[in-house]
Structure 1
Amino acid sequence: MKHLQIIVIAISIVITSCTLDKTDYEAELIVETTEYIEFEEVTIANNEDYSISIEALNGTLYKGYNEVHLKVINLKTGGSIENSEITFLPILTDANGNKSSCPHEYNLTYNATEGYYKGYVVFTNESSSTVDWQLYIGFNDNNETQSIDEIITVETQTNMNLNMTAFTGNDDEQYFIALVAPQSPSVAQNDLVAGIYKYNKPTSVAGDFPDISQFSYSIVENHTLLLDPRMPEPSMGNHSSLYNEDLTQESDELYHGVVNYTMTGNWTLNFIFKDENQQIIKGTEVSTEFTPGIEGERGELHIDILF
């Protein structure tokens, strides 16, 4: 009897140790995803003479990819500033006063039909008591350079289908992959869209703040993102699906592919990131072994999603 008690205790310890630090999949499934299609005002940045309205989907800036629209008004005349050269620089300041940025479109483009300047920003952190984000916006009007800065709030992205990841590649460069679409996937083949960006290491000593040469990012060109989607829950055995397509860059400079979700739930998008010469920058293959009862293996480069 004593030996039986010891065996039962040992089994209990093993079960407990195997379940510690595991993903709480049931709790995650309670989260609902909402698809936002309307641009709304996030905030207004002002100086004495000008007002800049900053818009984003749902009127909120989130960690990850954000398309942004800016409208500039001359407060004295009430007229819109059109076809100006707008610069857009997000700066993060941490608790120690260190400053950094994130992938962003520095020179915004003007949409004459809609009357706004368009760009994007991939925030890498949420705002918090120790992290502040501030936008530095510059433009020209009547041959005079104007500048406005505004503290903004970056919220946690609760929609896991829009997750992102940052990593250092085998080439010692810093990269960022941010999911752009779909916001709300379906049980079907879904068009998968992602932005891929790289930090441009400064080649000179910093000048007066904010010196754009210290906060420069670029869109990664002509690379490939190999895709292997899996369901990592123990009950799912880390199974994959058929009819997926790897992500390649298209004319909008984003990377497009296809992911086939065969059921709702937790999925892991495992990636292998290759350069234009098909050399691996980051990522490892995932075993094809079916593993029921065991949480699924994830590759070196991956993003977890949920719908």
Structure 2
Amino acid sequence: MNHTFKLMMLLAALFSFASCSKDNDNTPTQAEKIRIAEKTTATGTSVTLWADKSDLRVAWNKLYVSLKNAKGSAISNAKVSYAPVMDMMTMKHAAPVEQPVYTAEKELYEGAVVFSMPSGQMGAWTLTVTVDGEPVVFALDIKAAPSNTKTTATVTGSDGFYYTVSLVQPLTPKMGMNDLEVLVNTRQDMMTFPPVEDLVIELIPEMPSMGHGSPNNVNPVHTGKGHYRGKVNFTMTGDWRLHFKLKRGNTVIMEDAALDLLF
């Protein structure tokens, strides 16, 4: 009996150690996020870039950063910024970017970038992540949007400014009512794309292949930092086009900024 009791206690201790080791593994959200790359700053800070999917697309993409100091301890109080640049040889341009903010629940600095074109013969994307004044540069392979899908569009407004409308959600649309969120930015210059916060947006969904729309949609309204939220009703699966009319007060800035989904 004594031998059996000791064996049971040993197994319990081993199980407890294994559980604690798993619980204390603070490598952030490895089960949920995809590790894109890792670089080290001049002073030894490890910068790891994460994403929700292995492929970054011409779309609004969430991008995350985790930081560790030279001793391997996580850093949660750094000043972090993103700077995406497309180098087209004869010219360079940036993209709409949402600067990262630390999220304690995820143990990640969370931001987003709207990549407007794919990597390839036209040029190459880089993302400079600056941590407390120290930059590291990641080369990124941005893929084209899937066939019959367009979740970001740049249009010229009647006021002469360029506007980028990007779908934030639904990223995985379903039949029925879906939460809808779009981000709207304007082009101040080739490197600066501030959010637009003063628009009135009207939504008209259309299923081009079937020639019909859908009822009970809710026009997106501004909720902060260029994000507009509403509801869209997909009455069946297939190809859907979201028509957005952009207005400033009663003045129509853009009659139709269209995004395409296929599911």
> For residue 109 of structure 2, what is the aligned residue in structure 1?
117
- Seen in structure 2, the aligned counterparts of structure 1 residues 162 and 68 have a Cα distance that, compared at 3 Å, is farther
Q: How far 1:160 sits from its partner (Å)? A: 5.7
Q: Which amino acid aligns with 2:65?
A: L
Partner of 1:194: 182
- Which residue is 1:55 aligned to? 50
Task: Spell out, residue by residue over 1:35-88, the C-alpha distance to the aligned partner (whole angstroms, 9 max, x if none).
Answer: xx93221121234523211111123322110111101222x3222232111121
TM alignment of 1:128-143, pairs within 5 A? 128-140=120-132
1:42–1:60 Cα contact (<8 Å) kept: no
Gap runs ≥5 in structure 2? 1-30
1:303 aligns with 2:236: no
Separation in structure 1 between the aligned mates of residue 39 and residue 147 of structure 2, nearest angstrom: 28
Partner letter of residue 253 of structure 2? I
Contact in 1 for aligned 2:187/2:194 (Cα 8 Å): yes
Which of residues 275, 279, 301 in structure 1 aligns to 2:251? 279
Q: Indicate yes or no: 2:62 matched with 1:87.
A: no
- CA RMSD, aligned part only? 2.1
Distance 1:43 1:82, change over 3 A: same
Aligned with residue 104 of structure 1, among 97, 115, 129: 97
CA 1:247 to 1:55, structure 2 compared with 1: closer, same or farther past 3 Å?
Answer: same
1:62, 1:123 within 8 Å by CA — same for their partners in 2? yes
Equivalenced residues, count:
232
Residues 50 and 65, structure 2, Cα contact 8 Å, conserved in 1: yes
Cα distance per residue 1:235-275 (max 9 Å; x no partner): x2x22221111111125752111112222211221121112
Q: Structure 2 CA distance, aligned partners of 1:174 and 1:245? A: 25
| Counterpart-to-counterpart distance in 1, 2:122 and 2:239 | 31
Counterpart in the other structure of 2:145: 157
Contact 1:268 1:304 (C-alpha < 8 Å) held by counterparts: yes
Aligned residue number for residue 8 of structure 2: none
TM superposition shift of 1:187: 2.3
User: Structure 1's 221 and 269: CA in aligned 2 closer, same or farther, altered over 3 A?
Assistant: same
Q: Cα distance 1:73–1:85, how it changes in 2: closer, same or farther (>3 A)?
A: same
Q: Determine what percentage of the aligned residue pairs are the same residue.
A: 26
Conserved in 2, the CA contact under 8 Å of 1:161 and 1:179?
no
- Per the alignment, residue 207 of structure 1 pairs with none
Which residue pairs with 1:228 in the alignment?
Answer: 204
Name the SS for the 1:219 alignment partner. coil
Equivalent-residue separation in structure 1 for 2:241 and 2:217 (angstroms) = 13
* CA-to-aligned-CA distance 1:171-192 (integer Å, 9 cap, x gap): 1111111112112322212211
Q: Alpha carbons of 1:110 and 1:268: their partners in 2 closer, same or farther (altered >3 Å)?
A: same
TM-score normalised by the chain length of structure 2: 0.81
CA contact (8 A) 2:185 2:226 kept: no
Q: Residues of 1 paired with 2:261 and 2:235: CA distance?
A: 14
1:69 corresponds to which residue?
Answer: 64
Check conservation: 2:150, 2:260, Cα contact below 8 A.
Answer: no
